[in-house]
Structure 1
Amino acid sequence: MVVVAASIISKSGKALVSRHFVDMSRIRIEGLLAAFPKLVGTGKQHTYIETENVRYVYQPIESLFLLVVTNKQSNILEDLETLRLLSKLVPEYAYSLDEEGIGKTAFESIFAFDEAISMGHKENVTVTQVKQYCEMESHEEKLHKLVLQSKINETKDVMKRKASEIDKSKIEKNRGEKGGFMSLQSMGSGSFGSDLNISSSGSGFGSGAGFGLTTDVETFSSKSKAGRPPSSATAPPKGLGMKLGKSQRANQFLESLKAEGEVILEDVRPSAGPAKAAVVPLTDPVTLIVEEKLNVTLKRDGGVSNFDVQGTLSLQILNQDDGLIQVQIEAAGNQGVVFKTHPNINKELFNNENVLGLKDPQRPFPTGQPGDGVSLLKWRMQTVDEAVVPLTINCWPSVSGNETYVSIEYEATSTFDLQNVVVSVPLPALREAPNVRQIDGEWRYDSRNSILEWSILLIDNSNRSGSIEFVVPPADSSAFFPISVRFTAANTFSDLKVLNTIPLKGGAPPKFSQRTQLSTENYQVV
């Protein structure tokens, strides 16, 4: 038996898949295929047609024909066996048995034909063996991909180094022009205490503006100004050449750390003017901050070892005139939340009316700069119910030969939309980055600490689940634990909301805003 060609053609004679196995001109084979629809005719039930030179062995596949062209001397029984094998392979690779489905997987079908027929002769293989042969990896292809990825990583490193050099040159230039000293006044500003410390004597708020706030910071700042000459009057430093040499060595050390994957944060001091606070500026007279911290420990095989939520409600007031208020709240969240008020808050008023006010209504709440909020209410929630866990992580490492295949998937509940999700997976010490084959999101390899960081910018209803697959050298399954997770969310377990601010001196209530955030403090899979 000698197979001339194996093809999938339409009834109009259009060849969708065609593989030639003998040394025959392309025009000659195309002519044989084009002549086949005219020979079939209609109403015939034969499985083969013989002409003067060749034999057509065919089988209808819905609106198409699977066709094997052989010489007339071949064994018809072997021809039919070959046709039967090819008819089983086509559905394994085609999306659908029509022209569009066959055309999309034409190359896969040709590769399968090559495994079934070699040099015009049928191979003694099964459908399972053909699929296994087609899925086998090529060492040369894998090596080529590794070399290509290495070149890409090297180019990125060069780009990062160049960008770092440009940034450093700009920073050095700005330091040389304006100087790099930070005033003690800017360091001292915004260092007010934030504890609710109400005194029982006098006006009830200590000797300062209230809640234990004093003017010590201003005194320290003014003394520092008088005791130190301005930066413009200082003499040029001695040993400038030695300092420049040390700076160059430090820069080289930082560059080596960056090349190893370490994230370096530049410590750049402001060159002139007062230091600005690194907090979001307040625009409303009254701001209430709802914050919850998550401490969760999950078991790698399922279940919860520890689930602890700790929340606080803080109050921030800009003007002292707005301090005489009460805060009405609503908490319609999880029933397992236990609330505790500050000792100087009227507990009876809170328990009966959900209103936070001081025991002495004549005393105002303190005022302060951003970051100086006072805690009015705290709460805690503990459970072992896995259903309330906002994000679960499943890790499946398996060793196959000289490689370990690791599949990690996440599943998030519909209760929260999670932001800036980072899953940190420890890896065994590697010389190069792991081979990431599939990922929902982005990844980064920290070679210094041997950690793979999997990042998802936002998890909402469009991607409640996702996965990552990567390959590393052989390693024990415990090497990939504990897995650490961090994220934030815009709503909380307590679902605490501020309904209104009630002025105690009459008039319109001051305008207020509420800021809410859920964040992770320690979230691990062990």
Structure 2
Amino acid sequence: MVVLAASIISKSGKALVSRQFVDMSRIRIEGLLAAFPKLVGTGKQHTYVETENVRYVYQPIEALYLLLVTNKQSNILEDLETLRLLSKLVPEYSPSLDEEGICKTAFELIFAFDEAISLGHKESVTVAQVKQYCEMESHEEKLHKLVMQSKINETKDVMKRKASEIDKSKIDKSRGEKGGFMALQMTGSGRIDSSFSDMSISGGGGGFGSSGHGLGVDVESFSSKPKGRPSTAANAPPKGLGMKLGKTQRANQFLESLKAEGEVILEDVQPSAGHSRSSVPLPPVDPVTLTIEERLNVTLKRDGGVSNFDVQGTLSLQILNQEDGLIQVQIETGDNPGVLFKTHPNINKELFSNENTLGLKDPNRPFPTGQTGDASGVGLLKWRMQSMDESVVPLTINCWPSVSGSETYVSIEYEASAVFDLQNVVITVPLPALREPPNVRQIDGEWRYDPRSSFLEWSILLIDNSNQSGSLEFVVPPADPSVFFPINVRFTAAKTFSDVKVVNVLPLKGGPPPKFSQRTQLVTENYQVV
């Protein structure tokens, strides 16, 4: 006998599983299978149908047919024996004998057919042997997958070790520059903590205390006793220089390998005169420094509207010299009725309500002086603003993905408010997994593609009245529109929603007011289009 093909087809003639065993064109096999429903009879459990060229040996399986296509010279008894073997194999691999169940286990059934029939001839095997042979192949596949997973895990471990070495190298470098671990703690975060719960009055020295949560204020700073000499650790050379050099060299090799793979690496440049690292604020140079910072949390809907709009602001004070601590700060709070202010518990609330002046309840106690390298200061005033009005949003993003044929066209447009000049704007758009970078056809600004994380960064250095709107258009392979969300946005601005300004610093002991400077900044903490 010679079995040309074995198939499972529906009664309408649709081939669900088909395995060809001899050299015959696909069109020929499809033609033979398509002709079978017109030749089959009804009311028989299993039988055969002959044509001029081939013989159909079949058996009904519920709403399907198990079919063998053989030549007319084959032994009908052997054909029926082969058919019985296949009919026992089908329920072993497909518990659900319908179209959906057969399609789900199509590959397993084809592998079983291959073990039962070889080159058109029936193998002398049983159902148990066929299952055993298939399981042995599956075992080899599992072993291969285990080896591959082991290699992946080993690579991840190497990456973790390299990342740990880079972090340790940076910590060692910071220790050498700042003078030890304590200085690193105080300078490690340039963020102003908006919580006042960490500050308290010291029973002995008076004034503000600190639990070390981003404030870095000495508890003894209100004492009239002079400060002791600073520790010599700040001037001591860094320890373990040889170890640092070795770690730095390995870190540089790792960064070079990332660059070779197409990863963009931002170099950690040593600060020079008049410049500082972006992660650490500039150290104060004036006797009194006041920092006004607002953090923006916004969630915009992709179809328009605002899900969340929250602004949290802080006014903090830093004093370099103890003799300048007996002061009061006069401010302007703007005319925004949606901004709610709250002073620190040690601030004279009545003085602030009547005169917009921030001073301690006890005017005889000075404000604390800051430590060297501590740029966060002491929080005096905080405020909050919430709204659901889309008109107050400084930057709106509209994303329009559309599938056309074998491509997806994505158009993104930004519109900025005339109130703010936005700096260092970066719009991050997630993309589907791509083999090649997206085809950017038009852009206002610059773009960068990250192949590892599969996202596109759209960068605009400055958005002001000259470019309040801009667009980006790119093309990728077909993808679901939801893939391009959420879109993340980050930027900074020199103007705030509260419009808080420091008007003057008033000395309480007489004499000329100390020189002061103020820093104002609006930053994004979480800004998304979902």
Contact 2:397 2:529 in 1 (8 A): yes
- Aligned counterpart, 2:378: 374
Contact 1:427 1:450 in 2 (8 A): yes
Structure 1 range deviating more: 276-285 or 513-522: 276-285
The 5 Å alignment of 1:430-509 reads 430-509=434-513
- Aligned counterpart, 1:262: 263
Q: 1:248 to 1:231 in 2, by over 3 A?
A: closer
Q: What do the CA deviations read for 1:464-497 (whole angstroms, capped 9, x no partner)?
A: 0000000000000000000000000010000001
The 5 Å alignment of 1:120-135 reads none
User: 1 CA distance for matches of 2:316 and 2:457?
Assistant: 33
Q: In structure 2, which of residues 315, 318, 337 is the aligned counterpart of residue 316 of structure 1?
A: 318
- Following superposition, the deviation at residue 455 of structure 1 comes to 0.6
* 1:343 aligns to 2:345 (yes or no): yes
Q: In structure 2, which of residues 511, 514, 526 is the aligned counterpart of residue 510 of structure 1?
A: 514
- Following superposition, the deviation at residue 181 of structure 1 comes to 8.7
User: 1 CA distance for matches of 2:304 and 2:204?
Assistant: 56
User: 2 CA distance for matches of 1:425 and 1:509?
Assistant: 50
- Following superposition, the deviation at residue 205 of structure 1 comes to 5.8
- Aligned counterpart, 2:404: 400
Contact 1:426 1:451 in 2 (8 A): yes
User: 2 CA distance for matches of 1:396 and 1:337?
Assistant: 34
- Aligned counterpart, 1:198: 201
- Following superposition, the deviation at residue 247 of structure 1 comes to 8.0
- Following superposition, the deviation at residue 337 of structure 1 comes to 0.5
Matched residue type, 1:301: D
User: 2 CA distance for matches of 1:196 and 1:410?
Assistant: 41
Matched residue type, 1:399: V
- Aligned counterpart, 1:185: 179
User: 1 CA distance for matches of 2:251 and 2:282?
Assistant: 33
Q: 1:309 to 1:231 in 2, by over 3 A?
A: closer
- Following superposition, the deviation at residue 185 of structure 1 comes to 2.7
User: 2 CA distance for matches of 1:507 and 1:236?
Assistant: 53
- Following superposition, the deviation at residue 461 of structure 1 comes to 0.7
Q: In structure 2, which of residues 402, 422, 426 is the aligned counterpart of residue 422 of structure 1?
A: 426
- Following superposition, the deviation at residue 279 of structure 1 comes to 3.3
Instruction: Name stretches of at least 5 consecutive residues in structure 2 with no aligned partner.
Output: 1-168, 188-192, 210-218
- Aligned counterpart, 1:357: 359
**Identity level (%):** 70
User: 1 CA distance for matches of 2:298 and 2:203?
Assistant: 40
Q: 1:353 to 1:202 in 2, by over 3 A?
A: same
RMSD: 3.7
Q: 1:413 to 1:382 in 2, by over 3 A?
A: same
Q: What do the CA deviations read for 1:67-104 (whole angstroms, capped 9, x no partner)?
A: xxxxxxxxxxxxxxxxxxxxxxxxxxxxxxxxxxxxxx
Q: 1:455 to 1:345 in 2, by over 3 A?
A: same
- Following superposition, the deviation at residue 524 of structure 1 comes to 0.1
Structure 1 range deviating more: 413-422 or 328-337: 328-337
Q: What do the CA deviations read for 1:170-209 (whole angstroms, capped 9, x no partner)?
A: xxxxx9xxx9993783543375598643224455567622
Matched residue type, 2:314: T
User: 2 CA distance for matches of 1:423 and 1:440?
Assistant: 12
- Following superposition, the deviation at residue 510 of structure 1 comes to 1.1
SS in 1 for 2:318: strand
SS in 2 for 1:422: strand
Contact 1:297 1:523 in 2 (8 A): yes
SS in 2 for 1:208: helix
Contact 2:341 2:384 in 1 (8 A): yes
SS in 2 for 1:433: coil
- Aligned counterpart, 1:209: 221
Taking structure 1 as the reference length, the TM-score comes to 0.57
- Following superposition, the deviation at residue 334 of structure 1 comes to 2.1
User: 2 CA distance for matches of 1:209 and 1:247?
Assistant: 38
User: 1 CA distance for matches of 2:174 and 2:524?
Assistant: 36
Contact 1:398 1:477 in 2 (8 A): yes
SS in 1 for 2:482: helix
Matched residue type, 2:200: N
SS in 1 for 2:303: coil
Matched residue type, 1:354: N
Q: What do the CA deviations read for 1:329-359 (whole angstroms, capped 9, x no partner)?
A: 1111421001010010011111111110000
- Aligned counterpart, 1:124: none
Matched residue type, 1:361: P
The 5 Å alignment of 1:59-98 reads none
Contact 2:222 2:365 in 1 (8 A): no
* 1:413 aligns to 2:425 (yes or no): no
Contact 2:207 2:366 in 1 (8 A): no
- Aligned counterpart, 1:391: 395
Contact 1:184 1:221 in 2 (8 A): no
- Following superposition, the deviation at residue 519 of structure 1 comes to 0.6
- Aligned counterpart, 1:29: none
Contact 2:175 2:184 in 1 (8 A): no
Contact 1:327 1:355 in 2 (8 A): yes
Q: What do the CA deviations read for 1:2-28 (whole angstroms, capped 9, x no partner)?
A: xxxxxxxxxxxxxxxxxxxxxxxxxxx
Matched residue type, 2:258: L
- Following superposition, the deviation at residue 506 of structure 1 comes to 1.2
